[in-house]
Amino acid sequence: MDNSLFFSLKLSVQVAAIATLFVIIIGLSAAYILARKNFPGKELLDILLTLPLVLPPTVTGYYLIVLFGRNGLLGRHLYDWTGWSIMFTWYAAVLASFVVALPLMVKIARAAIESVDENLIRASYTIGHSEYWTALKVILPLARKGIIAGTILSFARAMGEFGATLMVAGNIPGRTNTMPLAIYSAAASGDRTQATIMVIVFTLICGLFLYAANKLSRRIL
Amino acid sequence: MGLRVKIKKVVNGFSLDAEWEIGNELAVLFGRSGAGKTLTLQMIAGLLSPDQGFIHLDERSFFDSSSGRNLPPQERSCGYVFQDLALFPHMTIRENILYGAHGLSKIEREQQAGNMIEKFRIAGLEKKYPSEISGGQKQRVALARALIRKPDVLLLDEPFSALDNPLRAEMQYFLKQIRWEFPIPIVFVTHDVLEAYAMADKIIIYANGSVAQAGTPKEVFTNPASKEVEQLVNTRDRLIQSVESLPCMSKF
């Protein structure tokens, strides 16, 4: 019993951490592009990236199946090529968490980047610094509050992810059952003791995470 | 030789059509707010593209609509002091100045930063942040940051407008002193007639988006080319106007 709890907890943290890493890299790039560039279809891209925030996770999960399933639009080619499908692996849990957490980073970081004083960016350009260097040394440091907030919220959302994960990763004990899924299984099968222990442990871990995040961000800001 | 500008630009219904030429001298762009002065600076620096025309510095071309040439701001080597100074709030004064030393080697940067800190009387402030120093000190830091890499042209957008009068006079004097060490074209934007007269080797008068007159301060002030210019440079009338507009005068 303790082993399975430990596995689920470890898997939850692992999935959320890796998903957050991708959220930082891709979400921040997307936020920068949406904030600073003009191109046709820009607002459409914003809507596409934000939709998972509004849609029920089951709908997002369904889209992921349509895209990445063994017969999916993208998954089919991957399967033909490698004989491997992401479905029902813990990678799928990472994918699901990533997609539902991404909008939080994109929204918050975009607003933070847009609020950086345009003259500071212009000053950097006239000094001779490239756009990349300016982003690194001026824009991102000045938008750091939003970026940190986006990171914390993304991680929190990824930790709590349930619906889309269930759709694409399943609920396979010892393989893809993250804490929320394991708690659902325990409660559904009437194992109140196990469910209660898991709920308490998960609540404590999440509380601890928020405490650490607050403390860390106060030190950085 | 020098800086030659011939630009046309329409933005938000405002139309700018200006042409002028200066050497290695301090030229004041003078005119009312909204006459297109800042717009001109932005186009020289490459922050905005003219619709038509050219911008040449010596034998280099920054912009030329006939050949389609349009250098990005990074390749123009313009020192730009913004009206709000645009000091980086997250960097110390020293870091701000060093950030301006783009393209110099590490040793050169350190050496130049030391020089600038001394020359611009910033010593003792290096570790402070922009929010912790006074208005006059910020001006000197902004100038030092713009000049550390020895730009080919210096653009000043109402740099002293936020200062009160004694400090303003001090900064004008300071700029006059240091400018001889930088033999480059300097474009100084102001809407203050006394400042224009005090600073300029050459005054270029902007009115309604075009150049109304250009010449030495003496020429322009003694022989205004039009009624419009006369109104702009008539210091006695302007002085009375500005005194009458003071809040304390409305009581009488």
Q: Report CB contact under 8 Å: B47, A138.
A: no
Q: Which residues in A lie closer than 8 A to residue B78 (C-beta atoms)?
A: 126
Q: What are the structural domain ranges in chain B? A: 87-149
Nearest residue to B137 (alpha-carbon basis) of B153, B123, B151, B147 = B123
Mean pLDDT, consecutive 10-residue stretches, chain A (221 aa), reads: 85 97 97 96 95 95 94 91 92 96 97 97 96 97 94 94 94 92 94 94 93 86 71
Q: Which residues in A lie closer than 8 A to residue B79 (C-beta atoms)?
A: 126
The number of folded domains in chain A is 1
Please state the rounded mean pLDDT for residues B22-28: 95
Q: Which residues in A lie closer than 8 A to residue B149 (C-beta atoms)?
A: 127-128
Contact (CB, 8 A) for A147 and A153 = no
Q: CA-CA distance, A183 to A197, in Å (whole number)?
A: 9
List the single range of A105-119, A181-195, B40-54, B222-236 with lowest mean pLDDT. Answer: B222-236
d(CA A39, nearest CA chain B) in Å: 18
d(CA B19, nearest CA chain A) in Å: 23
Q: pLDDT tens digits, residue range B80-118? A: 999 999 999 999 999 999 999 998 899 999 999 999 999
Q: Which residues in B lie closer than 8 A to residue A117 (C-beta atoms)?
A: 84, 86
Q: CB neighbours (10 Å) of residue B207?
A: 18
- Three-class DSSP category at A163: helix
Residue A80 belongs to domain spanning? 2-220
Give the CA distances from residue B119 to residues A216, B115, B147, in Å, rounded to whole numbers and listed in that order.
40, 6, 11
In the structure, what pLDDT confidence band is assigned to residue B225 with cuts at 50, 70 and 90?
A: confident
Q: Is the dihedral of CA A183, A186, A187, A191 positive or negative?
A: negative
Q: pLDDT tens digits, residue range A164-217? A: 999 999 989 989 999 999 999 999 999 999 999 999 999 999 999 999 988 888
d(CA B158, nearest CA chain A) in Å: 14
Q: CB neighbours (10 Å) of residue B99?
A: 21
Q: Which residues in A lie closer than 8 A to residue B146 (C-beta atoms)?
A: 127
> Is residue B29 predicted with pLDDT exceeding 90?
yes
Nearest residue to B75 (alpha-carbon basis) of B51, B98, B46 = B46
Q: Report CB contact under 8 Å: A126, B149.
A: no
Q: pLDDT tens digits, residue range B120-140? A: 999 999 999 999 999 889 999
Query: What is the structure's pLDDT at A34?
Result: 97
Q: CA-CA distance, B147 to B134, in Å (whole number)?
A: 20
Contact (CB, 8 A) for B82 and B136 = no
Query: What is the structure's pLDDT at B230?
Result: 86
Token pair for A182: 């394991």
Would an 8 Å CB–CB cutoff place B135 in contact with chain A?
no
ipTM for the complex shown: 0.89
pTM, whole model, 2 decimals?
0.88
Q: pLDDT tens digits, residue range B175-203? A: 988 888 889 999 999 988 888 988 999 99
Would an 8 Å CB–CB cutoff place B150 in contact with chain A?
no
